[in-house]
Amino acid sequence: MASVGKSPGEKALASLPGGAVRSFEADFFGDVVLPADPEYEEVRRIWNGMIDRYPAIVARCDGTADVVAAVNFAREHDLPLAVRGGGHNVAGTAICDGGIVVDLSAMNGVRVDREKQTVRVEGGATLGDVDRETQLFGLATPLGAVSETGVAGLTLNGGYGHLTRQYGLALDNLRSVDVVTADGRVRTASADRNADLFWGIRGGGGALGVVTSFEFDLHEVGPEVYAFFEWFHGDDTAALMERYLEWTADAPREAGVLAFTAHVPDLEEFPEESWGEPAMAMLGSYRGDLADADDVFRPLRDGATPIADLSGPMDYADLQSMLDEDYPDGLRYYWKSIFLTKVSDEVVDLMRRYTESAPSALSTVDLWHLGGAVAEVPRDATAFWHRDKPYMLTFEANWEEPADDEANVAWGRDGIADASDLPVASGSYGNFPGMNEDPAKRRFGDNYERLVDLKTEYDPENLFGGNGSVAPRTAVD
Ligand code: FAD
């Protein structure tokens, strides 16, 4: 009776042996936040406003020793465990009900090694934390396109961004990681050390342990690059898409462009008479000689009158944060993905139809151009499987009101379900996973069994479950 009206966090806390939390706190250097604490409401919130979970303990780690303590505590007390990197995975797996959150937000240190041309990044850093430091040296590593997202989630599941076609996925640029495995041990994994673990960490989506530090290769980038961002009328979609596909067939690696269908936002950068109308837009960048940028993008511009052209030279760090405001904390989100071997007419038609029927004008259907350096790495070289697919289709449902949840989630889910009926579409990307409703095998293709073997070896009790990745053979569902 005592637990009636209590949250899952309060109930789990009450069920722990007396003194357990106190002795955990005594050894913990960071902050331990419990349901009764004033910061609890704030620290249990993540980017996706759809997620409303009540953990028993939020362990805001100060360093690797804190992570070890939290992992050991979860295992010893049989508590569910969630790991929070940047807190931006749409499925909300950074937080759990009635368990412990290993919150790495305060572990966001970044250190560039100029001689080795590498960067060390702690497990809770955001993309902005990294670009800010690396750009001081005129260097960068491939990351995603919104600066507030977490390096950890992005990298552990792949990592596509402006630099990907030139330098590979974020995970392709990893030299080594430090990881706390389920037994509480700290291991270093690289090509030479714990190579099997290193294989699984690169694509396994956090299934094998908590990564406390990443070491990435760096490349010379910027500081000034050319941003390509242009909006066109929806009626021109078919013609523009034809040109886009021709362009992607032999685009230089220094350039990358994503095409999406959307509604024109009611922002001052756009003519007022166009606000709310269906549109097709292209967003990308060119990092070669800036004098060549107009020539590089001309084929994409010719023949259609733009609604707005927001292109121009800018600092790479600004390019990496130019979309931040479009994805505020607390809005409601459902994003889902499927890979494409080809963009057939049916795909283009699907994009246009779903944009017209979207319950929210904030939603988009995105076509990512992949390939390049990503496709040059053999598919069994890391746990990340879908390297051979030149495109990815994602449905981004973005809306404001809880009353509209069902309609918006159904829109994204139906869009991917319809796409999956097309012969050109298959698989899914762990960083745009819907609510993790699909089988993990879809992400890992022929790498699945090897990853399950590793999971069984390193995490037989599935302590790091709940993130949509593989389960060990021994786990009982
Ligand atoms: P979190 O929600 O903190 O973590 C997600 C899961 O990752 C956790 O449940 C845990 O299992 C695991 N995890 C997190 N940290 C660790 C760790 N240190 N060790 C072990 N496991 C860990 N993706 C792209 O590829 N390219 C893009 O351009 C891109 N743009 C995006 C823009 C926005 C606005 C958003 C919200 C997402 C975007 N994404 C993009 C997807 C993004 O990569 C994923 O949401 C990613 O999972 C976010 O990482 P995170 O650390 O913030 O995740």
For every residue of 38-91, DSSP letters joined together read TTHHHHT--S-TT-----SEEEE-SSHHHHHHHHHHHHHTT--EEEESSS--TT
- 2-27 burial, b at 16+ Cβ within 10 Å, e below that, comes to eeeeebbbbbbbeebeeeebeebeee
Residues in the chain: 477
CATH number attached to the domain at 8-103: 3.30.43.10
Structure tokens belonging to residue 116:
């080795």
Q: What is the pLDDT along the chain (477 residues), one digit of tens a residue?
A: 445 689 999 999 999 998 999 999 999 999 999 999 999 999 999 999 999 999 999 999 999 999 999 999 999 999 999 999 999 999 999 999 999 999 999 999 999 999 999 999 999 999 999 999 999 999 999 999 999 999 999 999 999 999 999 999 999 999 999 999 999 999 999 999 999 999 999 999 999 999 999 999 999 999 999 999 999 999 999 999 999 999 999 999 999 999 999 999 999 999 999 999 999 999 999 999 999 999 999 999 987 899 999 999 999 999 999 999 999 999 999 999 999 999 999 999 999 999 999 999 999 999 999 999 999 999 999 999 999 999 999 999 999 999 999 999 999 999 999 999 999 999 999 999 999 999 999 999 999 999 999 999 999 999 999 898 999 997 444
159 CA to centre of ligand 1 in angstroms? 9
- Contact in structure between 147 and 135 (CB atoms under 8 Å): no
Do the first three CATH levels of 110-220+449-476 and 224-426 match, i.e. the same topology?
Answer: no
126 CA to centre of ligand 1 in angstroms? 9
Residue 39 neighbours by CB under 8 Å, 6+ apart: 31, 33
Taking the domains of the chain in order of start, what are their residue ranges?
A: 8-103, 110-220+449-476, 224-426
Residue 307, SS3? strand
Closest by Cα among 439, 429, 450 to 382: 450
Please name the residue whose Cα sits nearest to atom 36 of ligand 1.
88
Our CA dihedral for 216, 217, 223, 225, rounded to 10 degrees, sits at -100
Pocket test for ligand 1, best of 66, 121, 149 (most atoms within 8 A of CB): 149
Closest by Cα among 170, 146, 33 to 90: 146
At residue 4, the pLDDT reads 66
Q: Using a 6 Å cutoff on CB, does residue 88 contact ligand 1?
A: yes
At residue 3, the pLDDT reads 56
User: What is the fold, at CATH topology level, of the domain defined by 110-220+449-476?
Assistant: 3.30.465
Residue 299 host element (H or E): helix 293-301
Q: Using a 6 Å cutoff on CB, does residue 467 contact ligand 1?
A: yes
| Count of alpha carbons within 13 angstroms of residue 51, beta-carbon side | 26
76 CA to centre of ligand 1 in angstroms? 27
Q: Using a 6 Å cutoff on CB, does residue 33 contact ligand 1?
A: no
Q: Using a 6 Å cutoff on CB, does residue 285 contact ligand 1?
A: no
Point out which residues pair with 472 in neighbouring strands.
none
CATH number attached to the domain at 224-426: 3.40.462.20
354 CA to centre of ligand 1 in angstroms? 26
